[in-house]
Amino acid sequence: MDPAAVVAGFPGVEEFPGISDAWHWSPVQGLDFAAALSADGRHLFQVNARDTYDEDLVRALLVTARENSSRLLADGTLLGVLPGFSHPGRDFDVVAAARPGVHRYHEVQQPELQQVTWAVFPGYACEFASSDRYSLEDARESFIRFLSPADLGRKSVPFLRLWYDNTVTKGGTNGPDGILALPKTLQREIKLLEGAPGSFVRFENFRGQIFRAEWDAERTWTLLEESESAAPRPVELADLLAFAEKSLHD
């Protein structure tokens, strides 16, 4: 497989300005693709953009990916992350890369190219857990549902794993693995604890910290960090909601 030969044959493809062995193509208005060979010339780093294409940002992403090829292509890494990224006018602080199987960019039309293509996109450190905390299904769901890699103007969507059970609403999660969820789901389920003794909300952030919130017999909320030996502490709802939000970003 020669990824350069395949990409160079795409309709409308052109050389990407300022980078060797890199290309840009746009099959329809508002949808832009850009790609560059990895340092070994055997893999492709690709950036997709929908209605948010920024040539300077994309150039920075491709150059950073190529310079760190060995780290991003490491065996078994589903979602690789390079910290310390910055770009003028943007808040992104990492470059991320999803391996084949997590993304499906060329799965249908170019299955051989798919196997050597890594999807590269800008992100935020709080969006990514350590690699050993992702199953393939988790990584796919995170990439497709939460990270919106083709939106180069997006805000952060922090990593959140959630477990909950509510004795009143009868809502909850099944199994030990919990679910990946949006922060608004965490906020909603914490609020629904009121008046539901025996219920709980348990949540994990990108750092691997796990917290548990409950509504206790004294008719108040409590909060516990599971890694600590201290007993659950009482907390006001407003403070609990603010803590939960902050814990996902810091």
**Could you give the dihedral angle defined by the CA atoms of residues 41, 47, 48 and 53, in that order, rounded to the nearest 10 degrees?**
-130
Residues 124 and 213 in one domain: no
Using left for φ > 0, alpha for ψ between -120 and 50, and beta otherwise, residue 78 falls in alpha
Is residue 50 in some structural domain?
yes
Tell me: the pLDDT tens digits for 197-234? 899 999 999 999 999 999 987 778 999 999 877 788 99
Q: State the pLDDT confidence band at 243, using cuts at 50, 70 and 90.
A: very high
Q: Looking at the structure, tell me whether residues 92 and 203 fall in a common domain.
A: no
Determine, yes or no, domain membership for 155: no
Determine the structural domain holding residue 44 and report its residue range: 3-146
Domain boundary, last residue among 81, 115, 146: 146
**By mean pLDDT, which of 22-31, 71-80, 99-108, 134-143 is the weakest?**
71-80
Q: Report if residue 62 sits inside a domain.
A: yes
d(Cα 90, Cα 155) in Å, to the nearest integer?
A: 10
Question: Of the residues 146, 171, 186, which one is the last residue of a structural domain?
Answer: 146
Last residue of a domain, one of 146, 177, 210: 146
35 and 93 together in one domain: yes
By CB atoms closer than 10 A (0-12, 13-18, 19+), residue 161 is: buried
Q: For the chain, what's the residue count?
A: 250
Total domains in the chain come to 2
Same domain, yes or no: 130 and 209 = no
Whole-number percent of the chain with pLDDT over 90: 87
Residues 212, 201 contacting (CB under 8 angstroms): yes
Could you tell me the pLDDT band of residue 127, with boundaries at 50, 70 and 90? very high
Please indicate, yes or no, whether residues 97 and 38 belong to a single structural domain of this protein: yes
Does residue 226 or residue 36 have the better pLDDT?
36
In a domain, 126, yes or no: yes
Indicate if 114 and 182 belong to the same structural domain.
no
Looking at the predicted structure, is the pLDDT value of residue 182 above 80? yes
Q: Same domain, yes or no, for 166 and 220? A: yes
For residue 152, is it within any domain?
no
* Cβ-based neighbours of 61, under 8 Å, separated by 6 or more: 47, 95, 120, 121, 122
**24 and 134 co-located in one domain:** yes
pLDDT at 37: 97
Q: Is the pLDDT of residue 133 over 90?
A: no
Same domain, 31 and 121: yes
Look at residue 244 and tell me if it is in a domain.
yes
Residue 153 lies in a domain: no
Q: Indicate if 60 and 115 belong to the same structural domain.
A: yes
110 and 195 both lie in a single domain: no
**Residue 211, burial from CB neighbour count under 10 angstroms (0-12, 13-18, 19+):** buried
Which tokens go with 146?
């939460």
Q: Tell whether 151 is covered by a domain.
A: no
Q: Based on the domain organization, do 99 and 34 belong to the same domain?
A: yes
The tens digit of pLDDT for each residue in 20-32 reads 999 999 999 999 9
